[in-house]
Amino acid sequence: MNRNTMFTLLVSFSLSFLFGFFSPLWTDPACASPLQEQQKEEKIPKEFLQTPEEYFQTEVSKLITIQDPSDVRRLRTKLITLLWGNPVLPSEGVDSVMQNYTDERYADIQSLKSISKMVVKMEFGLESHIYHFNPTVPKNHIVIYHQGHRGDFIKSKEQIGFFLDHGYPVVAFCMPLLGLNNQPTVYLERFGYLEMTTHDHLKMLNPQAGHPVKFFVEPIIRTLNYLLESGHSSFSMVGISGGGWTTTLVAALDPRILKSFPVAGTYPIYLRSNSQRDWGDYEQNAPAIYRTVNYPELYILGSFGENRKQLQILNQFDSCCFAGPKWETYKDVVRQRVFTLGQGEFDLFSDDSHYEHMISGPVMTLILGELQTIHIK
């Protein structure tokens, strides 16, 4: 065998090997073979398909102290007092507004007319930088959109553009210390200087009043105050991941949020045991917060009220967290409790259309349908 023949055979073998190795990545999912589908199913963790028996031990109805509308008001007041040291929500607005702000990253959204940039300043030098996206033909209903731990809401450009295309102004937020927001260095008595870069650092703060978890939600409350003063009066909220958690908490605190759509954001504490992927960051499990109002009660607070609804959305095969059908241990209990209160609605949708930590196209269409049922004055 000459050298040219050997070279040809070697190249042929190498290409065959590489194609065979990478072919699952190149194959159109719609054309996947039964064997490939079986392999995919075998890689899905069992708890994504079936709830482990241990999670049925908790009687969710016994966790809920809400029996009538007065209990909703009582718990909401307790939570507000814990967060701000005062039984009423902050009354301040934003600290600055820059009209006709330019961010070229959004220039290709055809339905975008303009951007206003707002800033909310808080204790310890923490700042929240917020974009108000105005569509060319706006409806009188604003969608509050909250990004999660992945940072800048540019990562949700597709979702923001979707709402704008359908006429909904969008006011977008990042979580503290992430995305457009700053990371101040603070001096802490007894500890020294600390550069604030992660949410775990926030638990070291000792505010003049209240609890450091307030820094996650105060920017939204104060922005709502500003928007009301500016003539807007109708709001819903959508959030992904940590933004889904924020949506859950804000809707519980502030009934001005009519419809809320937390996506891949929370599980009750009992569903996080023996599941490291679901335990979450500091704000998700701060004991003082959830001893005051636990997660099932937060869902009720976010759902109760005239024309209010919370549609919780979880991804069954989520690559990050809160996957599987464990929600079946609380969905009907929470929904029935809201029903007995006489106002509002709670529901839950499990999205099995993908394997990512995201808001899918079908879910965006579902949210749009819910928004279109809101009576806008």
At residue 49, the pLDDT reads 94
At residue 343, the pLDDT reads 97
Dist CA 356 CA 164 (whole Å): 24
With contact defined as beta carbons under 8 Å apart, do 315 and 354 qualify?
Answer: yes
* Range of weakest confidence among 38-42, 52-56, 192-196, 351-355: 38-42
Sheet with 96-98: strands ordered across: 96-98, 112-121, 127-135, 170-173, 142-146, 235-240, 257-263, 309-315, 345-351
Kind of pairing, strands 96-98 and 192-195? unpaired
At residue 22, the pLDDT reads 34
Place of tokens 């859950």: 248
Provide the phi-psi class of 263: left if phi over 0, else alpha when psi is between -120 and 50, else beta.
beta
Q: What is the pLDDT of residues 228-287, one digit of tens each?
A: 999 999 999 999 999 999 999 999 999 999 999 999 999 999 999 888 899 999 999 999
**Arithmetic mean of pLDDT, 171-196:** 97
Q: How far is CA 279 from CA 234, 293, 315, in A?
A: 34, 18, 16
**Quick one: pLDDT band at residue 110, thresholds 50, 70, 90?**
very high
Q: What is the pLDDT of residues 332-346, one digit of tens each?
A: 999 999 999 999 999
With contact defined as beta carbons under 8 Å apart, do 280 and 348 qualify?
Answer: no
- Kindly tell me the sign of the dihedral angle through the C-alpha atoms of 95, 100, 101, 107: positive
Cα distance from N-terminal residue to C-terminal residue, the chain: 85
pLDDT at 10 over 50: no
At residue 276, the pLDDT reads 86
pLDDT at 14 over 70: no
With contact defined as beta carbons under 8 Å apart, do 264 and 240 qualify?
Answer: yes
Nearest CA to 185 among 126, 257, 239?
126
At residue 11, the pLDDT reads 41
pLDDT at 368 over 70: yes
pLDDT at 20 over 70: no
Domains and CATH numbers, the chain: 46-371 (3.40.50.1820)
Six token digits for residue 96: 């600055």
Side-chain-facing half-sphere of 186: CA atoms under 13 Å: 22
At residue 62, the pLDDT reads 98
Provide the phi-psi class of 22: left if phi over 0, else alpha when psi is between -120 and 50, else beta.
alpha
- Model pTM score: 0.89
Query: Mean pLDDT of all residues in the chain?
Result: 91
pLDDT at 220 over 50: yes
Q: Where do runs of H (alpha helix) occur along 237-360?
A: 242-253, 276-279, 282-285, 287-292, 295-303, 331-341
More confident residue, 168 or 26: 168
